[in-house]
């Protein structure tokens, strides 16, 4: 576990190399990208790096403030230069599953407003087919049972509301998370995303398609960077 954490830290720091002076940076959520946030704070303090951050969750906002990253609301600026975020899975086409931290709606809004997306992860997140990690889907509390039934019929799998203690997980937006246990069967994530979003009670789905431009991966061979040949960083 100590080795995994050390590699996560190394990957999080390595991703900071994509951040240049003057950039507007989306700050993701998760156990690996937190090291990116901490390193960016160090660079601001020690090297005079001049950046502006937009956090994707309340937890990231708190950490960014603690390490001294100036923050703005996304609505106050005209897009972002880059977002650095984590992922729960990514496939050979650089399609992602995100939402294990229940921040997928804000993460996707920030990703869509970014000129490039860099993912930091460990090599357990690299898969041939998406879906072994249960697919997170943010749903409205109103009649969420009906939404879950619709998702079960559509995806032909078990779907359950994510719980914490005696109650459901509530997102930063006041919604719930439904986890779809599809297994590694999502071979057309673009179609799957579109079909899920047709269900009225669905707010957003944790499939991030055609967004990821590079992955900084921590694994047995140390930290490696893989650039999407069809991405925006070529």
Please write the tens of the pLDDT for every residue from 44-58.
999 999 999 999 999
- How distant, in Å, are the alpha carbons of 62, 89, 170, 207 from that of 81? 22, 24, 30, 22
DSSP one-letter code for 172: T
Choosing from 39, 61, 107, 138, the catalytic residue is 107
pLDDT digits (tens, 9 = 90+) for 17-50: 999 999 999 999 988 899 999 999 999 999 999 9
Sequential DSSP letters for 108-148: HHHHHTBS-EEEEEEGGGB-SSBTSSPEEEEE-STTHHHHH
Active site residue 107: yes
pLDDT digits (tens, 9 = 90+) for 101-138: 999 999 999 999 999 999 999 889 999 999 999 999 99
For residues 77 and 110, the answer to whether their CB atoms sit within 8 Å is no
- Mean pLDDT, the chain, whole residue set: 96
- How distant, in Å, are the alpha carbons of 90, 139, 144 from that of 210? 11, 23, 29
pTM: 0.94
What domains, with CATH codes, occur in the chain?
2-127+209-227 (3.40.50.1360), 135-206 (3.30.70.260)
> What is the predicted pLDDT for the residue at 112?
97
């Amino acid at each position: 576990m100590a080795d995994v954490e050390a590699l996560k830290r190394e990957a999080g720091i390595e991703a900071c190399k994509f951040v240049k002076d003057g950039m507007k940076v989306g700050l993701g959520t998760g156990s690996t990208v937190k090291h990116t946030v901490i390193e960016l704070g160090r660079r601001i303090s020690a090297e005079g790096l001049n950046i502006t951050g937009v956090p994707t969750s309340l937890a990231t906002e708190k950490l960014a403030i603690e390490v001294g990253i100036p923050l703005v609301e996304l609505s106050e600026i005209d897009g972002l230069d880059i977002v650095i975020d984590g992922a729960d899975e990514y496939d050979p086409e650089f399609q992602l599953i995100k939402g294990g931290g229940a921040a997928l709606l804000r993460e996707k809004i920030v990703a869509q407003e970014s000129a490039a997306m860099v993912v930091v992860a460990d090599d357990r997140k690299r898969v041939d087919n998406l879906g072994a990690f249960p697919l997170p889907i943010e749903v409205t509390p109103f009649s969420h049972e009906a939404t879950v039934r619709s998702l079960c019929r559509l995806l032909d799998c078990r779907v359950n509301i994510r719980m914490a203690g005696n109650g459901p997980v509530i997102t930063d937006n006041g919604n719930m998370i439904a986890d779809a246990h599809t297994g590694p069967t999502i071979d057309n994530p673009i179609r799957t995303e579109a079909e899920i979003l047709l269900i009225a009670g669905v707010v957003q789905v944790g499939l991030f398609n055609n967004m990821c431009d590079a992955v900084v991966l921590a694994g047995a061979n140390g930290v490696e960077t893989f650039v999407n040949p069809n991405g925006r960083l070529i």
